[in-house]
Amino acid sequence: MLIGEASKQTGLSTKTIRFYCDRDLIAPRRDPFTGYRSFTENDLAKLRFLKKARQLDFSIKDCSELLILYNQPDRASLDVKTIASKKLEELDAKANELNSLRNQLKLLVERCSGDHLPDCPILDALAGERN
Amino acid sequence: MLIGEASKQTGLSTKTIRFYCDRDLIAPRRDPFTGYRSFTENDLAKLRFLKKARQLDFSIKDCSELLILYNQPDRASLDVKTIASKKLEELDAKANELNSLRNQLKLLVERCSGDHLPDCPILDALAGERN
DNA sequence: AGTTGACCTTCCTGCTACTGGAAGGAAAAT
DNA sequence: ATTTTCCTTCCAGTAGCAGGAAGGTCAACT
């Protein structure tokens, strides 16, 4: 199966798939004459794995490690959980910060009249006049 | 005032300040002989404005527009509110997505025993066996 | 056979908002 | 005079791709 078909099957762009190949996340067979990549069902499974891992915000490096564990029958689930827990902490931290930012900005937006007059609590806050 | 002092006064790195100069967010006077940048109190105010706007996750482009409005006495607060509302929507969307991801990952992590055995609900989910 | 169109390849650039570091001039301190 | 510290510009790297150029390949149609 060529890369275009693999793209359709997985929902990943051909650009993304080539990028994963460059980063050695997968290594599909190559036609020795044309250089065309040839994807097996196993390759597709790995691509779908990568897609879901990326959707969960795992980095490429994380994905690489997870994929290795996935292909390693004698793995310890602890190793997987360690990676996932770390990512979970990151997501927690990001989510908290984002919620905080959102609330701050929401307050400012609500207080701004949004008319043709120049007075603006948002600019005031940015200028630090009340902080 | 030279860039190092401006850095101390604002808490922005000299690298960041130079970057803002390159992007024309501020244009401090230049010593015609040495090329050294010279910052006024007005420049510092703009830098502090930029710092807070960036903390609120406004892009450089947004910051540029906000700074223009800030320096424009006859502005309409509507223009500011429009930019801020758009950013607020972005933050909302990001926060929602992040919370969703976090919850998904949290469930998986909780279900993973994290021991020496190979069975792992996290890998199972990434492999798509239950989705 | 020739040609069109749809594939495929590699390589280079750009995106965001910086950070780190090299090479070299300038000013202050010793 | 020399060392240290500060300043300058420029180049590379970060994460994860997307866009596009230049060129090879393959099946189909005339």
pLDDT at A129 (0 to 100) = 59
B contacts of A84 (beta carbons < 8 Å):
105, 108-109, 112, 122
A contacts of B123 (beta carbons < 8 Å):
66, 69-70, 77, 80
CB contact under 8 A, A120 and B53: no
Nucleotide nearest to B34 (CA to C1'): C26
Which residue, among A50, A89, A122, would best test binding to B if mutated, counting the most B CBs under 10 Å from its CB?
A122
CATH number corresponding to A1-56: 1.10.1660.10
B130 has a pLDDT exceeding 50: no
Percent of chain A with pLDDT over 90: 97
Percent of chain A with pLDDT over 70: 98
CATH number corresponding to B1-75: 1.10.1660.10
Each residue of A70-123: pLDDT tens digit? 999 999 999 999 999 999 999 999 999 999 999 999 999 999 999 999 999 999
pLDDT at B128 (0 to 100) = 83
CB contact under 8 A, A88 and B82: no
pLDDT at B88 (0 to 100) = 96
Residues 6+ away with beta carbon under 8 Å from B6: B12, B17, B28, B37, B39, B43, B44, B47
pLDDT at A128 (0 to 100) = 83
CA distances from A24 to A8, A55, A72 (A): 21, 19, 17
Nearest to B98 among A94, A105, A106 (CB): A94
Nucleotide nearest to A5 (CA to C1'): C7
Nucleotide nearest to A17 (CA to C1'): D17
What are the structure tokens assigned to B128, written together?
């798509």
CB contact under 8 A, A88 and B76: no
Each residue of A103-126: b (16+ CB within 10 Å) or e?
Answer: ebbeebbeebebeeeeebbbbbbb
Average pLDDT, chain A: 95
pLDDT at B131 (0 to 100) = 42
